Chain A
Amino acid sequence: MRGTEREILTPSSEEEAASAVATAAAAGRRLAIRGAGTRAGLGRPVVADATLSASGLSGIVFHAPSEMVICAKAGTPLAEVEAALAQHGQFLTFEPMDHRALLASTGAPTIGAVASANVSGPRRIAGGAARDSLIGVRLVNGRGEIVKSGGRVMKNVTGLDLVKLVSGAYGTLGFLTEVTFKVLPKSEAIATLVIHGLDDGAAIAALSAALGSPYEPTGAAHLPAGMDWSGARTLVRVEGFADSVTYRLDALTKLVAAGRRTERVDGTDSEALWRHVRDATYLADPHSDAVWRLSTAPTRGPELTAAIARQLPGARWFYDWGGGLVWLSTLAAGDAGAAVIRAATATAGGHATLVRAPEAVRAAVPVFQPLDAVSMRLTNGIKASFDPRGVFEPGRMYPSA
């Protein structure tokens, strides 16, 4: 069965979740795992017998502002976590992307899904990925056992780091019940330097210089002409005390934008700009196009896109992470450009993930970068060590996991 036709299991406690999984495992039933479903379109299509929902596991378990730590049940809406943090002037440092615009999904994204899919945004280059902030998890493995890893302290090297392993596993290793993140105080001021009119090569060079400067940008993106009504714009964001932000924006302007047309964007305008970058809304329409997410060494970004554009003339793209993250849309026909994109990525170094495409394409084309034989063997082994009967999210990442 697919989609909404599936039976939905909604445990209201960790123990109930464990027992539901144990029952499913014994009966040979396969479970899709859902928070609010806003990211259900990520990965390969899953064929499951029932859905195990985290919506019954909701609420902040504790927030210790003076320890910069927050713990929430997996089904807690992300907005609730962010609001609790904001009350104490804190935030999640990795700026998690909201996939709703891109995937045309609805609902309230959950904190568990952020952990499970390792969802980061533009601030990843300065604040690390979601998995870097995730310091503890509780989960139910495919054997119906409750497993914990990590904890509530920021420095912890006790035993194998299963926290990292389950972050980015898209539910294939376990059903998260509780997640703990470290957080940071929000900066007093945030502002963005916008440089107009750079081509891709010049833009990425400017971003590299900015990121290699002592001024600590927390965002570094380039929007080529045609992303919206504006021409090409290169964005550098800095945060800190108000005086310091002004000082550093001025220094960056001298360093990377001498002789260029620039402007400073503050407040909600700056926030809106980065929200569009974070959520890749520039490529949301037309919704019939496929969308890829490519990661490479930043300075290789322009040659990577140029190589792809030569063979896929309709491709459109923009850059985040100083050029290291390329969001790229293609026609969804055929393999949605997979062969061309993966070949170009292999040359430049890095990897490509198919973020949006019709189910049939995601079933036929490897969504995640295909692994070498050794990594695939390890991946299958790890899957079996958590979920020997293949209960969770069958085939979400690879045919075998």
Chain B
Amino acid sequence: MIPFPAPDKDILARRAEIVAGLSRLVPPAALITSENERRAYDTDALTAYRRLPLAVVLPRTTEEVAAVLSFLHQEKVPVVARGSGTSLAGGAIPQEDAVVVGIGKMTKILEVDFANRFARVQAGVTNLAITDAVRHEDFFYAPDPSSQLACTIGGNVAMNSGGAHCLKHGVTTNNLLGVRMVLIDGSIVDIGGPHLDAPGYDLLGLVCGSEGQLGIVTEATVRILRHAEGARPVLLAFPDSVKAGAAVAGIIAAGMVPVALEFMDQEAVAICEAFSHAGYPLGAGAMLIVEVEGSESEMEAQLARIVAIAGEHGVETVRESKSALETALIWKGRKSAFGATGRVADYICMDGTIPTGQLPLVLRRIGEIVASYGLRVANVFHAGDGNLHPLVLYNANDAQQSHDAEEAGNDILRLCVEVGGCLTGEHGVGIEKRDLMGVQFSRVDLDQQMRVRAVFDPAWLLNPAKVFPLEGRTPPFPVAA
């Protein structure tokens, strides 16, 4: 099990006083104190870990966030920011001596500007709601994490979220133009805006993916894009993972950059097909979803080349989407992979990224690692950019299996780093990968990151149990007691 820092007894003892202070800053409806209601905030999508927070505040404005942070800063109370609580890395799991500041009530679309191609929204707006707000002009917001129906843009900014279509359009940081952010001392800062590339240190790039440790984002300005004339996925079924992996390498080496290039192994195909009835080829050793876009003739030309390359690698079934409905179904199956897996077993979802050339080796080693613990794995991932999502299946009621699943996951991530990759491609470090940071980074690397962190939050109050290993937070970085 991953250790949490021991709660600060002094803060726990002052709970009533702290709650009273908060109640002077926000209306009663924005403050959650009863144990039952706080329960709803005790974990995120990493449900194996739960901690009941001291209180939950749901501010409606930037100014309320500022007042709350300023007060908690004065009182030296830790703060855990929360969007919709969909973090798979435990990024939003609270701690007993912390106040959760949720942005879920800040759901206004503030400005949409098609001529300048941006949208400015409050941080609690969901990822999909941005696209919904611009869909009528055939525009969209590009990053599309699987949780896009629920997850907030504030959470996306905090974790630098990705998605299936990042191969062409990039992740959150490549689509973020500006933020309004509240620092721990309550000061409000605007970074960036509708214009590109503000000079000075790239605070926007630093804040994006900082996992709620530098401040709380209350507004975001994001780039919106016009849809291509058409988009079409094709399903390619292969006899085994190695051949499918080789086809991925072949497609990229041929100079093709599809909009999306997704990989599912036999286990994942079976699980997703049972849930979504998308018409996935059951029995195939592995399947790719390749999506191209453009005009009709462009799509045809690209698909013809992709199918030819797949042919060189032993493709068994080729199925092009024939309608918008079919396309939606194909993507529904893929995007429901985690949810569908949750119906058949407990699972932990890994998120390492590897150099794509290492794909065949890594897939084989993952199979060996998981088998050595007597567990099963379903692989579903963004193959074009090497971002893996092995789902290690286990039974959470079995303590030994729970332990083994975590160990297998850790072994997989060590493997990712060993072959030249990283611990997390789009989910974030959170609590889950915190104690593996030393595998990827040296002491010097981590100290440099922590010194930068300390510029924003010298007292280490913002989401303090996350990202950086608890040991080695040598002064001037206090260890949460």
Q: Provided the pairs A369-B200, A372-B189 are in contact, do residues A324 and B195 lie with their beta carbons within 8 angstroms?
A: yes
Q: A214-B226, A368-B199 are contacts. A153–B425 as well, Cβ < 8 Å?
A: yes
A259 interfacial by beta-carbon distance below 8 Å: no
Partner of A243, one of B113, B301, B448, B455: B301
Number of interface residues of B (CB under 8 A): 90
B425 is contacted by which of A131, A156, A299, A372 (Cβ under 8 Å)? A156
Mark contacts of A166-198 with chain B using CB atoms, 8 A cut-off: 1 yes-contact digit, 0 otherwise: 011100010000000000111000000000000
Q: How far is the CA of A124 from the CA of B113 in the complex (A)?
A: 20
B455 touches A66 (CB 8 A): no
Q: Is the CB of B194 within 8 A of A168?
A: no
A378 within 8 A of B: yes
Instruction: Tell me the chain B residues, 390-427 only, with Cβ under 8 Å from chain A.
Output: 420-427
Residue among A146, A159, A205 with the most chain B CB within 10 A?
Answer: A159
Contact of A152 among B166, B420, B424 (CB under 8 A): B420
**Docked complex Cα distance between A50 and B58 (Å):** 54
How many residues of chain A are within 8 Å of chain B by beta carbon? 84
Q: Write out the residue numbers on chain B whose beta carbons fall within 8 Å of the beta carbon of A27.
A: none
Residue of A158, A184, A321 touching B196 (CB-CB under 8 A): A321
Question: Considering residues A154, A241, A321, A384, which has the most beta carbons from chain B within 10 angstroms of its beta carbon?
Answer: A154
Least CB separation from A380: chain B residue: B455
**Docked CA distance A157–B187 (Å):** 26
Q: Is B116 an interface residue (CB 8 A)?
A: yes
Contact bitstring B279-303, A, C-beta under 8 A = 1, else 0: 0000000000000001101100100
Task: Judge whether A335 is part of the interface by a CB distance below 8 angstroms.
Answer: no
List of A residues within 8 angstroms of B116 by Cβ? 208, 297-300, 324
Q: Which of A156, A163, A397 contacts B353 (CB 8 A)?
A: A156
Which B residues are CB-close (under 8 A) to A291? none
Which residues from A are CB-within-8-Å of B203? 375, 378-379
B26 within 8 Å of A by Cβ?
A: no
A interface residues (Cβ-Cβ under 8 A, vs B): 64-69, 89, 118, 120, 124-125, 128-129, 131-132, 141, 145-149, 151-165, 167-169, 173, 184-186, 205, 208, 211-214, 216, 240-241, 243-244, 247-248, 295-300, 321, 324-325, 349-351, 353, 368-369, 371-372, 374-375, 378-379, 381-382, 384-386, 397, 401
B residues within 8 Å of A by Cβ?
Answer: 113-118, 138-139, 159-160, 162, 166, 170-171, 173-174, 183, 187-191, 193-206, 208-210, 226-229, 249, 252-253, 255-257, 294-295, 297-298, 301, 353-357, 382, 385-387, 420-429, 433, 437, 440-442, 444-446, 448-449, 451-456, 467
Given contacts A157-B160, A159-B437, A297-B118, 10 further A-B contacts (CB under 8 A): A66-B253, A155-B386, A157-B425, A157-B429, A159-B467, A162-B452, A185-B257, A297-B116, A385-B455, A401-B201
Cross-chain pairs A/B with CB under 8 angstroms, 8 sampled: A149-B445, A153-B422, A157-B425, A165-B452, A214-B229, A295-B195, A324-B196, A374-B187
Which 9 A-B residue pairs are closest in the complex by CB-CB distance? A164-B205, A185-B255, A381-B455, A155-B425, A385-B451, A297-B194, A66-B253, A350-B195, A153-B353
